[in-house]
Each structure stands twice: as C-alpha cells, then as structure tokens.
Amino acid sequence: MTSPDDRTLTETGLPPRGRGRILVIACGALAHEITALKRANGWDHLDLACLPAIWHNHPERIAPGVRAAVARHRDAYDAIFVAYADCGTGGGLAATCAELGVAMIAGPHCYAFFDGLDRFTARADDEIAAFYLTDFLARQFDAFVWRPLGLDRYPELAKTYFGNYEKLVYLAQTDDPALEAKARDCAARLGLDYERRFTGYGDLETALARLG
C-alpha cells in the first residue's frame, strides 16, 4: 500500500483526503507514472486516487467506478480530473464525465496519450497490425494478458489470438533495461516482431501540468 506521505489515495484504506486541492482519479495502471510526475515536478496540489487496473479487462466497470469515486471525494476538493482515456467504454466514460462536470484525458486509450494523440493518430493506418505495451503492461504482462487469455495453460493459442498482429510496439515511459527485456520476451512469446519507442509520459504529463 502506498504511504499517505505520497498523498496517493486508493479506494481502500487510506484517508479520504490528502493535502492537495485537486484530486486526480486514475486507472491503477497509471499510478507509478503519475506518482513519478508528482515527485519530479513538485505537484503538491495534486492528490491521486487509483481505481483497479484490472478494470481494463472489464471496461463496463470504469464509468460507474469513476462516478462513485467522484461522488465520494467531490466535496473535499476544489476540482477533480479523470486520468483515463476512453479505455474501451465506447464513449460511456466521456458521457459520465460530462454529466458530472469533470475533465478527462482525450484519446481512445493510454497508448495514444503516451505516444501523443496526434502522432498516434497519424500512424494508425500503418500500425493497424501492432500490439502495444506500456511500462505497466511490460511489468504485468502475465497478469493482464497471458493468464487471462489462458495462455499459461495453452500457449499454442497465441497464434489464434494474435495471428492478425505483425509486431509488438513497446511504448516506453522510462529507460529501463529490465523492462525492455520483459517487452522483448513478450514479443517472442507472442511470435511478433519487436519495436521499442521511447515516449516518456506524453500527453499524460501535459494534461497534469495544466492542473493548476
């Protein structure tokens, strides 16, 4: 569990308010990155509440979860920002945020905002057969991809699931040789070509920097 000194809130166990004026409600897959940005930039005005990262496998839970988190914390903060893109909700999260009057990150998913939405969109046609990893997914590939698809028991199904992909693109937020080795291994296990693209924090950093 994250220390209260980090002013990183979770929906289980930590106080309902840290010391910031603005609450960022984020996917748990972004917790490491947002915490790193807060520390690097001295963004003490931001608190962070993370919802379960595994909801990416159940996107129907994201909009209701964000709604509940906003209701839980709204009276304690000057403003709330939602650090999710659409993330498979089919516009449901954007509609929820609009109804609640809270802003969110633009884009279809975290791959797009890490790469930069304009750059990602420009490459979309050329990379229609690309499977993407971030730092988080490189770390958590087994928990979020390999085991949920049953590939730990039936690895031969990788050809069925990923047969239409040609390459794995690792969108790296950090220069970490250990994570790059993991990403290369993921590509090998899926039988895909490998490409690493350093993105840093992309539009996530830009969006959080605007929260004054």
Going residue by residue through the chain (212 aa), what tens digit of pLDDT does each one get? 333 333 444 443 334 455 679 999 999 999 999 999 999 999 999 999 999 999 989 999 999 999 999 999 999 999 999 999 999 999 999 999 999 999 999 999 999 999 999 999 999 899 999 999 999 999 999 999 999 999 999 999 999 999 999 999 999 999 999 999 999 999 999 999 999 999 999 999 999 999 97
Output the pLDDT for position 20: 79
pTM above 0.95, yes or no: no
Are 85 and 142 found together in one domain?
no
What is the domain range of residue 188?
A: 111-198
Task: Judge whether 124 lies within some domain.
Answer: yes
Instruction: Identify whether 209 is part of a domain.
Output: no
Helices (H), 74-127: 92-100, 110-115, 117-123
- Residue 211 domain-assigned? no
119 and 183 belong to one structural domain? yes
CB 105 within 8 A of CB 49: no
CA-closest candidate to residue 96, choices 79, 114, 84: 84
pLDDT at residue 16, as a whole number: 47
Q: 104, 126, 156 — which closes off a domain?
A: 104
Q: Is residue 178 part of a domain?
A: yes
Contact 22, 46 (CB under 8 A): yes
Helix (H) or strand (E) holding 48: strand 46-51
The answer on 33 and 77 residing in a single domain is yes
Tell me the one-letter amino acid at 109: H
CA atoms within 13 A on the CB side of 15: 11
Domain containing residue 29: CATH number: 3.40.50
Residue 177's H or E segment, with its range, is helix 177-190
Same domain assignment for residues 127 and 183: yes
Distances (CA, A) of 112 to 69, 106, 120, 124, 203: 24, 9, 5, 10, 8
Which of 77, 104, 131 terminates a domain? The answer is 104
Name beta bridge partners: 196. 170
Looking at the structure, tell me whether residues 85 and 166 fall in a common domain.
no
Regarding whether 100 and 134 lie in a shared domain, the answer is no
Residues 137 and 181 in one domain: yes
